[in-house]
Each structure stands twice: as C-alpha cells, then as structure tokens.
Structure 1
C-alpha cells in the first residue's frame, strides 16, 4: 500500500498491542489507506482472518489492492455497525479490534473534501460522501443556540457564543459555503497569534457533527466487550480528548461516562484491563516523519475473563 495515501500512526505499537496470533480473527474498523491492515495481514497465516471497515468510497478503492490476500474481507460501512456486519459474515467473536479514529491523511490532503483549513474548497467534511449533511448545511440551517452548543462541546471554542452569533449574522448577508468564506468570519474572532488552532477547533466541531463521530464512537465501544473474546485485545488511537475520554473510561471503569454501578457486594463490570498505565505516544523519530501523529494517544486493553471487579 502507498503511504502517500495515509501514513499509519504508531503502526508497530498498534500491531504489538494486538498481540497477533497467525490464525486469529481481527478487525480494523478504520481502514483508510490500509497501512495498518496490510501490516496485520502480513502476520496472519492461511487460517487467519481480517475484516476491515470504512464508509469512504476512496478507502474502498484502496482496499482493492489487498484483494490478493485470501484472509482479507473489506466491508464498506460505518463501524458503528460492526456487530451486525460481523454476524452477517458468521463471526461472533474476534481476537482483536483496531480503531484509528479521526480523519485520514488522504481526506485532509484532498482539498475538495473540505476537511483542511489550508486550501479553499466547498465546506463538505463528509467521510461518507453519500451522506446528506455537509458542514455548509450545518452553517446554513443550525440555529444560533445549536451552533453555540457544538462549537463549545465539540470544538472547545472559548468564545463559542460570540462566534455562533457572528456566523448567524454573516450567513444573513451571504452563504458560508466554502473554507475561505468561513475563515473570513473566524479571523475576526480568533485569538491573536493562535488563529491556526482556533480554525482547527471550529473545523473539528463541524466535522464531528457532520459525521456523528461521538455517537458512532459510543455505539462502537458499547459493542467491543461482547465482540472480543477473553484474552483478546482492544487497540484504539485517538487524537483529541473528546475521543480519548470514553475510550479511557471504558478501559478503566467499564462505562463510557460517569461512575460504574456496583452490586450489593461492591463489584462492578469491568470487561477490559489496561495493558499500559499511560497511553502510548509517538516518539521524535515518528513525529519528524509524520507530524500528524503529534496528538495521537494509543490505548491498549485486554479483554478479561469475566469482567467482574
């Protein structure tokens, strides 16, 4: 696979975390350019199996390059449906699941997709190009209160209320349909010398809403305990605190939010055990080759036998 499409972040650490058995069954729920998948396939024997998910049509094209591997099955679907599609393929439990969350290098670098702040393009931001909602549609139709909420919640924008009001006033004059048009509004409200980070926060908020990223992640994580057999591994790469928090909570507490409920004996259900005390991060060598790995946090967990703690 060409790494110009997508440079796999922490590839070796991900594979080590999966503790791959040559005859095991694995799932890569974020195929992207196939970098992680190809490396995983190379460690499987003829009895092994890899199922890869991605809703992006461009990723489906990349997946065709791995069609020569008889162990490989690509599923063009959102990974929120992981359980449903695995059952359709006769799979009830697997030995490991890998999730590399966020946007692929290819999606960022394809200007017309509208993910990047570096080039002017339509404000699309759909990972599934057949989906109905675009970022431009969000900016056109969402109320000021809704914009305030998503900018604060998903972008952690400090002046979210002020910016939401500015966006509504701006769209009354002309549609905000392109990257340049959005940046023209943002520039007036961005902190001095921190414009790039501010733009990125707003783009992140819009992207999360367009792709329902937090809902998808929560649905996926809610299925992992039943899909991974005892002793199997859950390996998740996240790129911002909103993604990392529910992953961390699932591993440490057995719940995505809040505190676990205990039974009358003080026990609670905790299906995973962290393999490392802290998340793994990219070293300086990888950061030099792939700056997008800078914010990556890798968590690895082992599925416990009974999950009772």
Structure 2
C-alpha cells in the first residue's frame, strides 16, 4: 500500500513556479557535474594541448576555452523562445527547454522514474545502489550529491547568516529560516489526507501518514510492541536500555530523544519560538501556544 499524497491547504504551486524550481535544479546539477568530473579532466589534460583561460582554467580545446570564458563574462546569448530565459551555452539551453517540452529521456533502470538530465538520473540511482561518493573530511559522513555535502559542511563552519526577525534565531540555510517562520505565523500548509492534522514540512506530513498504515513490521524484541518505522523502534528501545545519548550543553541533564533535548535547552536560552500574532505573545512550547489560542482567541476566530 503506497502512502497517499498529502494535499496543500492554502495554495498549489503554479506551473511557472514549478518550472522555475526545475530550472534551478538543472542549473545546480550542471555545476555539480562540472565539479564531479574535474579529476577526469585534470588527467586528460596531461596528454593534450592546453589552452589557458585568461581568468582561471585550462581547456584542452580552443573552442572549449571560448565556451568556458563565457562563464566569466556572463555572456548569455542562447535564449529560450518559450520563456525568454538566457544561457551562456547551447547545452544549458537544450537542457532547460526540456522543462517546456516535458521530455524526460533518462529512465531509472531500477524503478522506471524518468528525468530530464542524465546527471539527475545518476544522483537518483544512488538511492537504489546506496552509493555516497561525497565524504566529509571532518566527520566522515557521506552524501549522494555534492549539494548535500556542501550543506553539511555549514554545520562544521558554524556560519548561520539567516536570522529570524521574530525571535533572533539563526540558520545556516534560507530554506530552514523559511520553514521556521511558519512557526511564528502558525501556517501549516501540508495536511494529512486521512486525518485533520497539519504540518509545516512535507516530509513530516509523509512520515505522519505512515502511522495510519496497518503495517507495523518493526517489532521490539523486549516487549513486542510494533512500529511502522525502524527509527521509531530504535527510539523506543532506549526505554529498555536506559540509553540517553543527548546531553544538554548547559547542564548535565540527558535525554533519549533529540527533540526532547532541543525543547529542554530553551529553558537555558530563553528561546520562545511559538508566536501568537493577535497579541504578540511568544511561548516556549507549542502546546502552550495551542492552549493560549484556545483560551484567548477561539471566539474571535
């Protein structure tokens, strides 16, 4: 039984937004493809005549060098006749035009899913093969694509350039700040199709929907309780083992769940991320906000 697709509560993405998102992913994938094959290029250059880019790079052919230099000059003379978007190479334009034609010539040999670009297919197939070729040199964690590694490295750098204007919390990614802001506005656009529960994030909604499934094939060997997901079983088993791997960085208290630690640390930081717009009051816990809304604002809604 496949998981039902969650519905959007407020609005659906327009076709233009969907196209823009795919184009953004395509451009990102093109950049990743360039970096991923840099080692191969370097080896090839040892045996071929080299044309030096006046800015930075070596190219094995003069035509390649000319095309590469356009990336520095930002010359975008290849224009899409459908939407007017311009590109610096004909290849990038060709890739983009598949957004309009709907062409997806690259098919996964494992599940049949199709993609507009071979690079997208290559990354997707790593889900099936388990391949994670991008490794963090600081902690050893591996990733399927270079973008995942780049985002992960922000954790080690400690840089958090995106700040919430409501509570002052900092984030490493703009997308995480956007998700966080929905806590303050109480916007939960992803609704479970089987109950009335709503979520800020799509992945949380999908995860919740699995709880409606009758299939609970992850069984605790200590008490026989069954779960729909392996990680939920793993968390449950800490009740039996007494394991509390999450330690507060401000005091010596420990917790079985990372979420419990996160909530506890707000006592030390003073963070109150749950915001009531009508009265501009903030709360440390979601339950406190929900109780406040029921008590003070039910009649006015």
Q: Which has the higher contact order (CA 8 A, sep 6+)?
A: 1
Instruction: Compare CA radii of gyration and give the structure with the larger one.
Output: 2
Answer whether TM exceeds 0.5 for this pair. no
